[in-house]
Amino acid sequence: MSTAMAWARRNERWIFLTLVLISALPMIWPSVPPLLDAPGHIGQYRIFAEAGQEPLARHYLVHWALIGNLGVDSLVYALSPILGVELASHLIIGLIPPLTVASMLWAAREAHGRIPPAAGFALPLAYALPFQMGFLNFTLAAALALAALALWIRLARRTNDVVRVAVFIPIAGIIWVCHTFGWAMFGLFIVAAEFALRRERGEPIWRAVLLSGFTCAPMAWPQAVALLVGGSVSGDTGEWFHMSAKLQFLLTLLQERWKLYDVVSIAIIVTVIWSGVRSKSLSLVPILAIPATLTLFAFIVLPRIYMSGVFIDLRLLPSGLALMLLSIKVKTGAESAEPYLFWGGMGFFGVRTATTLIAFILFAQAHQAELKAVEVLPEGATVLTLVNQPLATQWMNPRIAHLAGIAVARKRIFTNEQWGATKGQQLIEQLHPRAGRFLQDPSQLVYPAGSGITPTNFDDAIATFDRGTFEYVWTIGFPLGRAHARDLTPIWSNQQSALYRVNPAHNGPLSSTAPRR
């Protein structure tokens, strides 16, 4: 063993702690997490925290229910009386990546007896696309699922099956409440790991399959209870076996701002996995490789949309790749390769974390410039939001689709960017039926002309929105003057966006009065 690797093993606990702390750095500075859906969720947290109180009670109704989509919501709700909604949101959301990294390292240590040499290549996947898109409840559940996998492996080697199942029955319920699909992924992990453990003990395949299913079956109780009490999720399902989209998900998995750099990063991850499978110097530990394989298989066969939940298949991909990387070990006799793999992984993690930090600072600065409009809005206003939404083919997404959620959190406004109530998924109902097609998400999104995606046409929206419902129009990504209507008076603008007051009695041309900046 090299001197460097001997030092790494002696200081493994400090390395573990350092990696977890480094993974938290990108989320420390931005006051508003620069994740696509996060501002909308923060608006939701304000609605939950002040449910039944004015002025939000005029705009939103909360249908309280225990559903499988309340992970971050419930934690922020519990902390908001102490810290306030935005600080509690920042804290809980910011803890998801370091929790994910800690869970990855714990699972790897339980499988190998130490932190394996390729671990560093897996850690940037804590900031993969599901987190960047702001799937907060799911990514929290995914982090807990990885931690649960580590605990399952640990207990399997130290206790009997009865004790292990008893410990995991409440854990299954906690993960289900965080997010139903995160709970399903947890089920994949433990069934596959149990199979690997039983094969490790020498059980025949048929017996390992049968007893793995039997041992893990009690973990299905949360969904069984939900079905019995009528808590099943409703919605559409579709886009099966869309293989070109799945390839696109792989290429964009670390998408932030710089396309070539992000794609090369994914190429490095795939190359390391391929080396683990094919190299004569490396091999895979089955107790992580089998869950990884089952998870990646599920990514291939699942649809993009399930019960109105979107990107269902994508959500599995980071955990599947991470487990595959964490399963890699150096074969006996090839120890000379270990330092290169270890320090290469640490360097990869360090560089990716640094560039994520820079990208998040840039996103946050742009968001702060847009959020100055919120200072102009009166408390409890009704605001039509229209967002200049880029196509998926544009790599650098400014992440402004739900930025108006911060206005909900700070000024308790009504706006059309919030998600509507969906059985088993969302609890908030909008109380402005006259808003019509501009009642909820995605009516705020305006895609480029000719894109074929037309939830909202900008000029049509300006001409037809209900003046009795909306008192203001906020055009994010559309500069001053883009909204042509005689009853709109500009009251704020920057170089990219504008805010207008609706004046129904006004019959003159669009005001040329200099707006507040």
Domain span at residue 162 reads 3-30+65-360
Report whether pLDDT(237) > 70: no
- pLDDT average, residue stretch 279-289: 91
Residue 90 included in any domain: yes
In a domain, 353, yes or no: yes
Q: What number is the average pLDDT over the span 349-377?
A: 95
Instruction: Note whether residue 89 is domain-resident.
Output: yes
CA angle 450, 454, 457 (to 5 degrees): 90
Summarize the confidence of residues 415-441 as an average pLDDT.
87
Domains contained in the chain, number: 1
> Which pLDDT band holds residue 517 (cuts at 50, 70, 90)?
very low
Residue 180 lies in a domain: yes
**Structure-model confidence comparison of residues 243 and 294, the more confident one:** 294
Predicted confidence (pLDDT) per residue in 183-231, tens digit: 999 999 999 999 999 998 888 999 999 998 998 889 998 888 888 876 5
- pLDDT for the residue numbered 273: 95
138-178: per-residue pLDDT in tens? Answer: 999 999 999 999 999 999 888 888 999 999 999 999 999 99
Establish how many alpha carbons lie within 13 A of residue 286's alpha carbon, considering only the half-sphere containing its beta carbon.
Answer: 10
Q: Is residue 116 part of a domain?
A: yes
Find out whether 320 and 296 touch, Cβ atoms under 8 Å: yes
User: Mind listing the pLDDT tens digit for each residue in 74-105?
Assistant: 999 999 999 999 999 999 999 999 999 999 99
User: Is the residue at 438 inside a domain?
Assistant: no
The kind and range of the H/E element at 282 are strand 282-284
- One-letter amino acid at 174 equals I
Q: What is the largest CA-CA distance in the chain?
A: 84
Highest mean predicted confidence (pLDDT) among 93-102, 383-392, 478-487, 497-506: 93-102
Q: Mean pLDDT throughout 383-411?
A: 93
Q: How far is CA 93 from CA 110, 146, 228, 296, 360, in A?
A: 26, 17, 32, 26, 14
Q: Measure the CA–CA gap between 470 and 487, rounded to whole angstroms.
A: 12
Output the pLDDT for position 225. Answer: 87
- pLDDT reading at 179 higher than 60: yes
> Is residue 405 included in any domain, yes or no?
no
Residue-level pLDDT at 305:
72
Q: Examine residue 491 and state whether it is found in any structural domain, yes or no.
A: no
Q: What is the pLDDT of residue 374?
A: 96
